[in-house]
Amino acid sequence: MIIKSPIDLELTQLSGQTSQPPWRQIDDSFFEVVMVDGKPVIFDVKQSGEYLDFDFTGDVSKKEAISKLSYIYDLDFDLDRFYKYLSNHSELAEMADFCNGLRLFLAPNPFECVISSICSANNSIKRWTKSVSDMKEKWGGEYNGFYSFPSIETLQDVFLDDEEEFDLTDIDDICKCKNNLKSCGVGYRAPYMRKACELFTLEMDLSEIPKMSYEEAFETILKVPGVGPKVADCILLYGFNFKEAFPSDVWIKRIVSYLYFDGKDISVPKVREFGMEEFGENAGYVQLYMFHYARKSGLMAKLK
């Protein structure tokens, strides 16, 4: 079944967005299990011309499957309109050519996005995606060889590290301790993840976030342990589809400074403020395209 909305599926999957790891690639298809109204659905998606072709296995209707995929790949977003927007801004005009077909890769599970985003801080794409994939295989639900992300309650009960696991079990050799967060390579982030689970269990309801204004949602997510402004913006953009988010770090700072401020040194908070005010409802997409463009055009190497 084809959804007639242009997308570069591989580019979108592999663009490093912290919503989730890339789906499992087998030949020219990407596969993943996604919960749709509480039911496990295994999607098989692939490129067909400029569109997405898909099949699925699960107890949901075709309409429900299309709706879920359209959300995950943001297929209702008008890319042609966005490209016209880019072309009307000289600083951004080249980006559509380098990033053609790139879309937001939105989280079907916002909790997974929170943990992925915490895990991504000061980390490589390869390492954080492996860590999250390991969590899924260790503690998620298994469906025909595919794994959903563990629930808040499940992850909260996972041992923190090998020492805690060794102390609280009858394992006779600490080297055999593999059922803990640090065994997934998350390092110092493990306590943040446990505290986040406690927060979501006792104080914060993630399902309330989409009902908030952007600023209220931002201040709320900042209360999550291990989450600073950049990670909060990533969570709101990739986990909740707040397109006015403009995740800003030292690289976005350098790119914005080069494109808009003649290379002058400006603070990361000022860059975030500039991006949200300058690009408005397009801020999230501009940031996504800006970063990919800088990597592919050679600009990033120039700015190092």
Q: H or E stretch including 164?
A: helix 162-168
Residue 6 pLDDT greater than 70, yes or no: yes
The overall average pLDDT reported for the chain is 94
Catalytic status, residue 230: yes
Pairing of strands 51-57, 2-3: antiparallel
pLDDT at 165: 67
Candidate list 136, 182, 230, 243, residue with the active-site label: 230
Judged by average pLDDT, the poorest of 161-165, 186-190, 244-248 is: 161-165
Q: For 82-101, how does the pLDDT look when each residue is reduced to its tens digit (9 = 90+)? A: 999 999 999 999 999 999 99
Q: How far is CA 121 from CA 79, 125, 201, 255, in A?
A: 29, 10, 23, 19
% the chain with pLDDT above 70: 99
pLDDT at 167: 81
**76 or 175: which leads in pLDDT:** 76
Residue 301 pLDDT greater than 90, yes or no: no
Residue 239 pLDDT greater than 80, yes or no: yes
Cα-flanking dihedrals φ and ψ of residue 31, to 5°? -125, 145
